[in-house]
Amino acid sequence: MYDRRVTRTLTLDDGRRDDDAPSLSRAPHLVLVLDAANPRARPALAAVDEVVLGRGSRRSRTRDDATLTIALPDPFLSSRHARLRRVEGAWLLEDARSKNGTYVEGRRLDGPRALLDGELVTLGSHHFTFRVSFPTRDGEPDVDLSATSASDVAFATLDAEAEHELRRTVRVALGPSPILVTGESGTGKELVARAIHAQGVSGGRRGAFVAINCGALAPTLVTSELFGVKKGAFSGATETRAGLVRSADGGTLFLDEIAELPLDAQAALLRVLQEHEVLAVGSERPVRVDVKVVAATHRDLEARVREGRFREDLFARIAGHRVSLRPLRQRREDLGLLIGTLVERHALSASTAFTAEAARALLRHDWPRNVRELEHALLSARAIAPENERIGLDHLPPELREDPSPTRAAVDEASFAQLARTHGGNVSAIARALGTSRSQVRRLAQRLGVELEALRE
């Protein structure tokens, strides 16, 4: 018998530990994304309370009670250029009668303007983005990343939460668990897979990194290409081949676009993952293999499982650890860091810089093909622009030269609703604060489900 009397509450321990997990906090931030004159300088994060921005002899930040003063070495800035402050829950940006003006989404301010999440702010050659809620590590509210360098494009991010998840994914490389990387085309899924492989190599694995585009395999040859073939197994099999899976023995098998794999090949792949062995076409004896499987797709695999187009048991096998990569249009604050990293990665000229117009175009583009498109745009522009000149708007691809809608920036429901409450549902006042039209305000309200009439009292 045991004593059932309870004298204290115990902690339910599931056995999981993540000793490296950072302690994160979220707060409004004004993120210095890009200095057009020096893209190699890493962006700085400034926790937003009240912020005064102006020219200084060097980049610096000082605090005085609730005011944060940011000085930037930019000859196009006035000594006191602009101010961002909280007013009844909204964040209002106003120009301080500067000589060259303050711009939001490419439009010059002519009065106080409420900032919305993700909007681009330009002062001189410096470009910022405003984030209503941005994760940073506790104790580091004003992280200055000007002296840091991202080791790989795949890990170039200012988002502490996203960075931790990526680093954690790489650590999984040392264990047997398969990894599933999801994200749109061009977000860097193969770069993450290669980082996972590199971690495995540092941990003692000596096999190769073998990348397979599952969508590019000939339908009639998928099984033989993946699992090998014995000579004479079928007409045309003139030699014995090991197959791509065995080529990755002791290393990493990267299955890109795994959603495109035919169902019969999915069944054979499931056997590899379950039994750790490969049966070549025409062979009767399986061969043991030891591969780290990293799968990737831009498709919704769970939806494909429901539709019967992807095996549920295979999905369960490949999704041992999952990581999702955000599209570039959702991480505008990382653009400067990515640009600087790509400049270093390709050893572009040390004098690489941008005109203000070119920098604004880079930061306002939606990048539908993500990091891959950004990389190609930079390489093309650097090749076209004269060696000792800044990259200008006319050096960028045509799609970047088009002037996007001034309301293109992401608008979230919380920030718009707060702005609507601040102005009591007055459409004209909201339109002035956003620097847009009354009709656009009504469209935003309808799209975000904010009832302006209910706020008018």
Give residue-wise pLDDT tens across range 289-347.
999 999 999 999 999 999 999 999 999 999 989 999 999 988 888 898 888 888 888 87
pLDDT at 389: 87
Nearest-angstrom CA–CA distance, 80 and 97? 8
Return all residues near 110 (Cβ < 8 A) that are at least 6 apart: none
Nearest-angstrom CA–CA distance, 335 and 377? 13
231-239's contacts with Cβ under 8 Å and 24+ in sequence apart are 231/282, 232/282, 233/280, 233/281, 233/282, 233/283, 234/281, 234/282, 237/281, 237/282
Tens digits of residue pLDDT in 53-75: 999 998 888 888 888 888 999 99
pLDDT at 36: 83
pLDDT at 403: 61
pLDDT at 193: 93
End-to-end distance of the chain based on CA atoms, in angstroms? 68
Tokens of 34: 């890009």
Nearest to 360 by CA among 131, 46, 112, 121: 121
Tokens of 27: 């707060």
The list of the chain residues with pLDDT below 50 reads 1-17, 19, 141-150, 405-410
Q: Model pTM greater than 0.95?
A: no
The DSSP call for residue 207 is -
Its CATH architecture, for the domain 24-147, is Sandwich (2.60)
Token pair 């572009």 in the structure block, residue: 348
pLDDT at 6: 38
User: Helix or strand or coil: residue 352?
Assistant: coil
Helix axes 413-422, 438-448, angle to 10 degrees: 130
Angle of CA points 443, 444, 449, to nearest 5° = 105
Domain 162-324: what homologous superfamily? Answer: P-loop containing nucleotide triphosphate hydrolases (3.40.50.300)
Tokens of 337: 């860091």
**Domain residue ranges of the chain, discontinuous segments joined by +:** 24-147, 162-324, 413-455
